[in-house]
A and B are shown apart, each in its own frame.
Chain A
Amino acid sequence: MNIIVCIKQVPNVTKVSWDADGSLIRSGLPTIINPVDKNAIEAALQLKEKHGGKVTVISMGPDQVQEALLEALCMGADDAIQLTDKAFAGADTWATSYTLGVTIEKIGKYDLVITGVEAMDGNTAQVGPQIAEHLGIPLLSYATDIEVSGSTVKIKQKLGDVSRLLEASLPVLITVEKEINEYRVMPIDKILEAFEKDIPVWGADSIPADVVNLGLKGSPTRLRKVFSPKLEKGRVEMLEGTPEDISRQLADKLSAKFLI
């Protein structure tokens, strides 16, 4: 079974800090593989271990995206392909999905494409479903379990408060939730193998893409402005005293406002 996993390298937004003016400090943020994309890699590796085949990981981004792909190889992926080109820069989800979709077509034979549900920096959850549309294959989203038998795949889907069991014929694209598995610690032998491997870099010329669909030029959406969310600084009244004193004051104040 041939599985393609799409991953994204993201700034570690949980490490964000603010300067004295309340602006976001962006520089020097460490980058990581989007955490749920590691669950996607893990899901692919587990399926390969069960059914045989090959796991190929692809990622679009600047030069440093190679670090993320190397990490994927260290986890046990067979191949990695890096998509880096100035022409890809500034892509919104439409152009990103197009680029990844065309790349998958170029790779050719695949049974499954797996992505994480969403990236922790953009949180759009759009790229997986859009790749499925580009490829014209069914989307099985929000997977918390995957089971393949023969040419049939079943997933458990967490659709908000509804749990479903879905079935489709391969090939399909699956987006996984983090509950699906605990991703592995990189095994030593795979780390050693990974450093022997070459990560090819594909640019716009390497894939059968129509250049007008790439990068900023290919993106239907435009960023008009970015701003820091306003902190609604109310004048906070701090209560002091023992827990009992504080509780009395709090209960009095809330009753006076008819809130309790």
Chain B
Amino acid sequence: MAVKADLTKHKGVWVFAEQRDGRLSTTSLEMVGKGRDLADKLGVTLTCILLGKSVKEPAAELIAYGADRVIVAEHPELAEYRTELYTKIICDQAQIEKPEILIIGATPVGRDLTPRLSFRLNTGCTADCTELDIDPEARLLVSTRPAFGGNVMATIICPEHRPQMSTVRPGVFHVPARDASRKGDISAIEVNIKPEDVNVRVLESSVSEGHCADIQDAEKIIGVGIGASDDVSFAAIREIAGLIGAEIGGTRPCVEKALIDHGVQIGQTGKNIRPELYIACGISGAVQHTTGLSNAKFIVAINKDPNAEIFKFANIGIAGDAKPVLQAFAKELKQRHQEQ
């Protein structure tokens, strides 16, 4: 690229904080936690940039979760996320303040926004990372992401351009502890939006009706795969989920069969989960799925193929047809519930 950055002029870690109707996304808080860690390793400040219609309250929350400073851009036109409006405000501010790192949650908004930011800022962006760290000698952001459909992991750096940008998959990092006594600076920037800046009109906007469990934060999850996607097995899974208080997620083929919602898809193109208990039913364990399981604490796998990959990840394995096992397990749990 023609224009390389003067590296000495760039300092500080930035996080783009995403909110909707004044509520911060869980992923934004995860980014604040990781941003804090990176900023501490570099000995620099952590700044969040927050855009919306009225966002002073969530700005204070960002301080409580670990930010040193929050840049607030408020304007009625910013109520609904729009790529170009958000890009302009963030890029203009980044060009003035010159952060060395900018990280963003790889949510649908983050994945829409970040590439445009990075192209305008003449810098690279590593998408959908599962790990971020600092190389202390080179003062470089080191980003790790699954590639090749999750079959390999790639470690990527951006040595000569700034800010170093990465998006991070939701659910990979923990939400840090909230500390209401933390102090920080909240500074509002002036927002000028001219009519010619508004090229896209949002005619309608609605949150999907279908109940979509917040699977990233669930303590117990039952995963459904093609081997347990028949009506009888799925009914048993729902019964078990009700009895033990688990959420139901699953593999991409089950999303494609419309058995479960995309919002509860686990793995490469879905969510990363970190439950205490994960029960994988009729899931063979393709890497596309298992990359989402690295933070699951205890895994039970039921699969008819005794050599299935999923057993390499499991603590308890059951080699057999999922249907009769699930039916019997539902019955067993029901009986125990009634005895209590």
Residues in chain A within 8 A of chain B (CB atoms): 11, 13-14, 16, 24, 92-95, 97, 120-130, 132-134, 138-142, 154, 158-169, 210, 212-213, 218-229, 231-234, 236-239, 242-244, 246-248, 250-251, 253-254, 257, 259-260
- Is there an interface contact between A24 and B294, defined as CB atoms closer than 8 Å? no
Given A132-B116, A247-B325, also A224-B316 (CB < 8 A): no
Q: Is the CB of A16 within 8 A of B151?
A: yes
Separation in Å of the A129 CB from the closest CB of chain B? 4
- In-complex Cβ contact of A257 among B87, B126, B290, B298 (8 A): B298
For the complex, count residues of B whose C-beta is within 8 A of A: 90
CB distance from B213 to the nearest CB of A (A): 11
A138: B residues at CB distance < 8 A: 83-84, 199-200
Q: By the criterion CB–CB under 8 Å, are A223 and B154 in contact?
A: yes
Contact B328 A124 (CB under 8 A): no
CB-CB under 8 A from A127, the residues of chain B are 115
- Asked if residues A24 and B148 are in contact (CB atoms below 8 Å), the reply is yes
A161→B2 CA distance, assembly (Å): 39
B155/A236 in contact, CB under 8 A: no
Give CA–CA (A12, B107) in the complex, Å. 26
Question: Across the interface, do B203 and A154 meet the contact criterion of CB distance under 8 Å?
Answer: yes
- Contacts A165-B202, A234-B314 given; indicate if A142 touches B299 (C-beta within 8 A): no
Asked if B174 is at the interface (CB within 8 A of a chain A CB), the reply is no
- Tell me whether A228 and B153 are in contact (CB under 8 A): yes
Complex: how many Å from CA A13 to CA B148?
Answer: 7
Residue from B119, B315, B324 whose CB has the most chain A CB atoms within 10 Å: B119
- Would B336 and A251 count as touching, CB distance under 8 A? yes
Assess the A160–B263 pair: CB atoms within 8 A: yes
B118 at the interface (CB under 8 A from A): yes
* Segment at the A interface, from B8-16, B46-54, B157-165: B157-165
Q: Does B318 contact A (CB under 8 A)?
A: yes
Which among A224, A247, A259 is the interface contact of B328 at CB below 8 angstroms?
A: A247
Q: Which residues on the A side are within 8 Å of B176 (C-beta)?
A: none
**B256 nearest in chain A by CB position:** A178
Beta-carbon contacts under 8 Å, B178-195 to A:
none
Q: Tell me if B23 is interfacial: C-beta within 8 Å of chain A.
A: no
CB distance from A231 to the nearest CB of B (A): 5
Q: A93-B125, A163-B208 are in contact. Are A237 and B316 (CB under 8 A)?
A: yes
The answer, among B120, B156, B301, B315, for a CB contact under 8 Å with A221, is B156
The verdict on B317 contacting chain A, using a C-beta distance below 8 Å, is yes
